[in-house]
Amino acid sequence: MKIGFIGLGIMGKPMAKNLINAGYELTVFDMVQANLDEVVAHGAARGSSSKDVAEKSDLIITMLPNSPHVKEVVQGKDGVLEGVKEGTIFVDMSSINPLVSQEVAAALAVKNVEMLDAPVSGGEPKAIDGTLAIMVGGKEEVFRKVEGILSIMGGSVTLVGEIGSGNVTKLANQIMVAGNIASMAEALALATKAGVNPEKVYQAIRGGLAGSTVLDAKAPMVLEGNFKPGFRIELHIKDLNNALDTAKELNIPTPITDQTMKIMQDLKQDGKEKDDHGGMAQYYEKYGRVQIRK
């Protein structure tokens, strides 16, 4: 199966490389020339546009920042719709608004192209080692055709429902991750301010009920003062905006997410939007006048 991959950023680049390493023939495209050059050097064929990638592919994967980017890549000038062949499968692995996933799927269906929405969780480290959690929405028969390929990029690949369900699941994931990071930072700030070593607090609680994947991934970074992005605050803001918009449509209260968004927006105003989302700890350092370090 010939695969097209569009979107070679922090996440897309290692995901595409893992497919190449597994022996798949890829045609790739990205607006950032350096990213495109790197993946071509790794063994991919260079695409000149999204349309060009679509013309050369049986399966098209996109990994893009947000809803408008996916719509432009698919429906814009020199987009996927202009080059895609009947029977092609389109898998959008971006984290976008579920309603946009449904809109794009409807546009592709006109050309007899099936779509899955398959956003991921795990950040850059899990993209690199191919252990992402992949949440998929779409028809089961389409999912089964590409499940093995998705498994090259993910440690878990789960079909959760119809088209759009993948992104609903991702929104739920992002709500939980943001809340976990904020509460972790709040707890470590409290401990530090009280004169207790935050490293020892982390080691003491990680094996108990408060232990989590989020805690083990982000607490060591906070304790080192390392906010090099695996997943940027600005991207988490984008996801929470989508979550809040969806919650508003469904009339679901979101007090925890509302407050977490305020923390992230405060950090954005301080110019920290490109920090890792573990950098939410800096909000507590700023207002608590405390430094959370080993």
Positions marked catalytic: 170
Q: In 111-125, which positions are buried (b, 16+ CB within 10 angstroms) versus exposed (e)?
A: bebbbbbbbbbbbbe
Answer whether 47's CB lies under 8 Å from 28's CB: yes
Q: In 255-264, which positions are buried (b, 16+ CB within 10 angstroms) versus exposed (e)?
A: eebeebbebb
3-state secondary structure of 254: coil
Answer whether 126's CB lies under 8 Å from 10's CB: no
Q: Which residues pair with 232 in a beta bridge?
A: 276
Number of H helices, E strands in the chain: 14, 9
Taking the alpha carbons at both ends of the chain, their separation in whole angstroms is: 50
Query: What's the token pair of residue 185?
Result: 């930072």
Q: Where are the beta strands (DSSP E) in the chain?
A: 2-6, 25-29, 45-46, 59-62, 89-92, 114-117, 120-121, 132-137, 154-161
3-state secondary structure of 228: coil
Q: Report the residue count for the chain.
A: 294
Report d(CA 117, CA 105) in Å as an integer.
Answer: 9
Report d(CA 166, CA 173) in Å as an integer.
Answer: 10
3-state secondary structure of 242: helix
Q: CA torsion angle for 197, 174, 172, 170 (degrees, to 10)? A: -140
